[in-house]
Structure 1
Amino acid sequence: MNQAFTPEPLLLGGHRLLYQADYLKPEAADWLLAYCKGLPWVQSRIRLYGKWHPIPRLNCWFADPGLRYAYSGASLAGNGWTEPLARVRQALQQHVQLDFNNMLANYYRDGNDSMGWHSDDEPELGADPVIAAVSLGVERPIRFRPKGGGKSVGLAMAHGSLLVMPAGFQAEWQHGLPKRQGSGERVSLTFRYIAPQ
């Protein structure tokens, strides 16, 4: 991991998102992507208009023991970390000077996998969560738009990059990852903090 945190700011509605394209060195990003492909991925389901549908991506969740997290109809319990992911978390916490006790990983197998507009604003994450996302694999643009609709803006997330969405951002903005024809594999590791109960 690079020692100096020298991100490029992205200003959205008074919020300063921090983006660092070279957070991981290429060989470290390659190794982590290969490792993540072997994680225990599942395809969760979401309830829409009274019917359950598989979400268009795979995911898995790692967290400190005893933590619980619910989103999109799924209820998860923390069972700890693998040793490599624990090292990734520790390095990230030192890098950004923030604490994280859980990580939701998403695996986009190809350009048909996507994530719709949403905010990471579940009650467990607190009133003003900070979200840090490490992107691995093919570059895909994450998009942002104000809640309630409006013009969207995009940010191309490079292999090995880091994006930090600051406190207060989730209350006013949504983000999503649209389908992208012909795109390859991408993994997103999103680190958060849940207040222990």
Structure 2
Amino acid sequence: MQSSLFPTQSNNLLPFQGEMLFFPEFFPKPKADQYLSQLIDSLEWRQEPIWMFGKQVMQPRMTALYGDPKMPYGYSGIRMTPLSWTSELREILEEVQGKAETVFTHVLCNYYRDGKDSMGWHRDNEKVLGENPTIASVTFGAERIFQTRPYAGKKPKIDIQLTHGSLLLMRGESQQFWEHQLPKTKSCLQGRINLTFRRLV
């Protein structure tokens, strides 16, 4: 089956075992423009090394972690100590928590500088997130294709075009049975910030 594109729907995009809800204009454009500029300039971006296929490589993106400073978070061999919430991140957090009906403790910030920056196939299934975590993913900046597919059979693959100011909610069994990625693209020359809000338990 070929992949399908869901640019505007807000109903569940997954055909089974989990939920993905997409809200393409969650933040209106003027507010999204403001947050994009502020977050690029104000967050403490770093490029971290990760372990892939038995060797250490630099992540193809910039990252920053904010949240409860008493609760570190790690993935792919990285252990990150959260920085304190900025005023902009707190504003965004309050809006997202209301829609997700979830209290989040942390936000992992990703800065994709252009289409060469990416994230490979993975699941957000670390034990500290609990069995069926809710992940709220906010996009500011360039539109990029986000892909998801079943972890077991790898088909069907679903493409979702993440738009400026959009919110993608992943919840239920989605992190158990589905994996996702942000692939490289030659067509994107602009930057994109992705904020993934999560609750550590």
Q: Please give the TM-score of this superposition, normalised by the length of structure 1.
A: 0.91
Kindly indicate whether residue 103 of structure 2 is the aligned counterpart of residue 99 of structure 1: yes
Kindly state the Cα deviation for residue 127 of structure 1 after the two structures are TM-superposed: 1.0
Task: Tell me, in whole angstroms, the C-alpha distance in 1 between the residues paired with 2:96 and 2:191.
Answer: 23
How many Å apart are 1:99 and its aligned residue?
0.7
CA distance in 1 between counterparts of 2:66 and 2:59 reads 19
Which of 32, 35, 58 is the aligned partner of 2:35? 32
**Match of 1:12, as an amino acid?**
P
The within-5 A match list for 1:19-168 is: 19-38=22-41, 39-148=43-152, 149-168=154-173
**Structure with bigger RCO (C-alpha 8 Å, 6+ apart):** 2
2:11 is the counterpart of 1:8? yes
- Aligned residues of 2:106 and 2:198 also touching (Cα < 8 A): yes
Inter-partner Cα distance in structure 1 for 2:19 and 2:55 = 38
* Identity among equivalent pairs (%): 36
- Hey, what does 2:6 align to over in structure 1? none
> Using a 3 Å threshold, how does the CA distance of structure 1 residues 14 and 125 change in structure 2: closer, same or farther?
closer
In 1: Cα distance, 2:83 partner to 2:26 partner:
27
Report how far residue 48 of structure 1 moved. Answer: 2.2
TM-score scaled by length of structure 2: 0.90
Shift of 1:25: 0.6
Runs of 4+ in 1 over 4 A off after TM superposition: none
Q: SS at 2:181's partner residue?
A: strand
Corresponding position of 1:191: 197
Aligned residues of 2:138 and 2:165 also touching (Cα < 8 A): yes
CA contact (8 A) 2:17 2:173 kept: no
Contact 1:110–1:182, Cα closer than 8 Å, also in 2 = no
Q: Deviations over 1:124-161 (max 9, x none)?
A: 11111110001111111100011132331100011000
Q: Please report the RMSD computed on the Cα atoms of aligned residues, expressed in angstroms.
A: 1.4
Other structure's SS at 1:27 match? helix
Query: What residue identity is the alignment partner of 2:133?
Result: P
Q: How far did 1:57 drift?
A: 0.7
Q: Secondary structure at the match of 2:146?
A: strand
SS in 1 for 2:12: strand
- 1:140 maps to a residue whose letter is R
Distance 1:173 1:119 in 2: 7
Contact 2:17 2:174 in 1 (8 A): no
The 2-side partners of 1:86 and 1:107 are apart by 18
